[in-house]
A and B are shown apart, each in its own frame.
Chain A
């Protein structure tokens, strides 16, 4: 006969196993019910087309480069207020948040988030043009459309007559991309002390994306500066651009493993003054990506050695700075949230495309909150000033987001 405590533990585990099993059956049953309804959402979503497009224009036309999102935060909050969410606030970090109250006070909330910052400078003309099938405007795909869909959700949910057990927390996030280093979501989740049931990160594009894992990344800049003090040697000084070129060449000689997957993306370079003058300053931007945090660290150390070595060799001032970093995190493909999302997308004739994402998703996953990133529509010239978004696919994009909200509400993240 086993000791009493051991028996109790076994009974407890059996009960817990049974409850998980029951819960699993429960969400599967619920899902079977609502997944059939999802295609019928499309017409009702289409019927509020003007409201959705109006939100895209009103949000998209407000310039919002990282660290300068204040005006867009105001508009986001104003639109949320107009949409009559149950609560509308701005957190301590200035992320605007709206809450749609659920029917149960026991279920943790579902988060739906989108970053409010864009890559477009504030001096660029942000005026949008709507044609019959397309919207044109800088920043629309990353991420003005995503933010606009969030503020349209309360109205769309009312139109669909959908209610959720969980509260729906709709959050626009500031200080997200580039040097923002996902500060908005870090601060929001850092301050949120109670459990979160699951989350959806909304991006303008591309419809069909399904991100449920994120690579470890480290975004870095190498700054090379050469003193301009000594005028006599001016024309024979080392050249910052050539030295950065040497840095690139040495990075390219690094042996990167296929497992764990790893790569270094050389993304940006600029420097120099004019054609006939030796460049005394230059900056190189790159990102290390891997599904192993250790591998990211190893590569970063290697590149540090390269930079230090070349700095010494050429006797120039060269510094390696980390701009942002994110740890690798993942949901397994067999996680019910991923499986349900795939089923929802397929129901809408969307072909899920899985890729790692370095966005807000990684912060949710690193905190063990099940989350996926979804795209709203298809588009072109994502990061250029002539970015475009197709209007018609957007309805499926919105339907899938609502479908995944339903999935989370039915319990797919509760196991």
Chain B
């Protein structure tokens, strides 16, 4: 396998540091850019994400046109704080309310397509502790400066915050290394060049996002890469080094549940592509064990991974966006 994609389509955030130039290109191309932050109980980090993006990429350099928070029903002050600092805040269940309501990050990202106005949409996880505006401009950069690239994904070092105060310098990305990379190596070796396929920070053109299905939960990143790769090829994808991202550490059991969903999404996708044939349906229960009073108890979680169809197939969406597009043409 050659690494030409890796060499050609891998960037460093500093390649896009000239924000004035990015704004000029954006204006020249007559594009608008939306930032979407999917949230569920993110009161500790949401304010600074909004503040930094607003200050640096709206006030100082008008690169972003809107900041939208799509919340899954936080029980803390996430929505109130986000509103206080000037984001447009939506409860996911209030968007397209006539459709069945699901809860999950993928659901929020999918509904963001209906709410946001931008030609380019940037998705950022809302739990980034060391947030910096490079998380946005570095993802938007390749899309603006190259006519070929339609989707850009972040990669970084992943220090983990242990407890409340101490940072461990290395680690993270365990699901990537133990689950996704082996699967990609088995079926799509060229996709192993994407260094962090599960990173929650990516940006792309609306025309890409609206044409792919969105699993509502953890499977979203995996399916997105596979679908974009399958429909448009690897060449439309870029990856950008953001250097360091500090995130909350998750325990092994939580990562196990995440891996369960990712494996299921992956197997379903490759079955659809005719790469494997399943002799029986997979189960929807993740079975784990915990020690309680010297005996092992089962801890069974139902994990049903629903999937939203491509947004372009939704009538309300077409009514909202297609006339505008026709008019602009």
Interface residues, chain A, with chain B CB atoms under 8 Å away = 48, 50-51, 53-54, 57-58, 61, 82, 123-125, 127-132, 385
Asked if B281 is at the interface (CB within 8 A of a chain A CB), the reply is no
CB-based contact B60/A385 at 8 Å: no
CB-based contact B165/A50 at 8 Å: no
Q: Which residue of chain A has the shortest Cβ distance to B86 in the bound complex? A: A50
Q: B residues within 8 A CB of A130?
A: 47-48, 51, 81, 85
CB-based contact A53/B84 at 8 Å: no
Q: A residues within 8 A CB of B167?
A: 123-125
CB-based contact A127/B47 at 8 Å: no
Given contacts A54-B52, A124-B166, A129-B44, is CB(A61)–CB(B60) below 8 Å?
no
**Complex Cα gap A200–B245 (Å):** 36
Asked if B77 is at the interface (CB within 8 A of a chain A CB), the reply is yes
Could you list 12 A-B pairs, sorted by A, with CB under 8 Å?
A48-B59, A50-B51, A50-B85, A50-B86, A54-B48, A123-B167, A124-B167, A125-B161, A125-B167, A129-B44, A131-B77, A132-B84
CB-based contact B45/A51 at 8 Å: no
Given contacts A53-B51, A58-B52, A132-B80, is CB(A125)–CB(B166) below 8 Å?
yes
Q: How far is the CB of A386 from chain B (nearest CB, A)?
A: 9
Q: Kindly name the residue among A50, A58, A82 whose own CB sees the greatest number of chain B CB atoms within 10 A.
A: A50
Report which of A61, A82, A131 forms a contact with B47, defined as CB distance below 8 A: A131
Asked if B111 is at the interface (CB within 8 A of a chain A CB), the reply is no
**Complex Cα gap A117–B55 (Å):** 25
Q: A residues within 8 A CB of B55?
A: 50-51, 53-54
CB-based contact B129/A127 at 8 Å: yes
Asked if B164 is at the interface (CB within 8 A of a chain A CB), the reply is yes
Q: A residues within 8 A CB of B52?
A: 54, 57-58
With A54-B55, A58-B52, A123-B166 given, can you name 16 additional A-B contacts, CB distance below 8 Å?
Answer: A51-B55, A54-B52, A54-B54, A54-B56, A124-B166, A125-B161, A125-B165, A125-B246, A127-B161, A130-B48, A130-B81, A131-B77, A131-B81, A132-B80, A132-B84, A385-B165
**Complex Cα gap A82–B130 (Å):** 19
**Complex Cα gap A125–B166 (Å):** 5
Q: A residues within 8 A CB of B264?
A: none
Q: B residues within 8 A CB of A123?
A: 166-167
Asked if B201 is at the interface (CB within 8 A of a chain A CB), the reply is no
Q: Kindly name the residue among B129, B165, B166 whose own CB sees the greatest number of chain A CB atoms within 10 A.
A: B165
Q: A residues within 8 A CB of B80?
A: 132
Q: A residues within 8 A CB of B48?
A: 53-54, 57, 128-130
Q: How far is the CB of B106 from chain A (nearest CB, A)?
A: 26
Report which of A51, A57, A125, A132 forms a contact with B81, defined as CB distance below 8 A: A132
Q: A residues within 8 A CB of B56?
A: 54, 82
Q: Give residues of chain B (41-79) contacting chain A, Cβ–Cβ below 8 Å.
A: 43-45, 47-48, 51-52, 54-56, 59-60, 77
Asked if B132 is at the interface (CB within 8 A of a chain A CB), the reply is yes
Q: Which residue of chain A has the shortest Cβ distance to B131 in the bound complex? A: A57
Report which of A53, A61, A124 forms a contact with B130, defined as CB distance below 8 A: A61
Q: How far is the CB of A144 from chain B (nearest CB, A)?
A: 13
**Complex Cα gap A61–B166 (Å):** 13
CB-based contact B246/A127 at 8 Å: yes
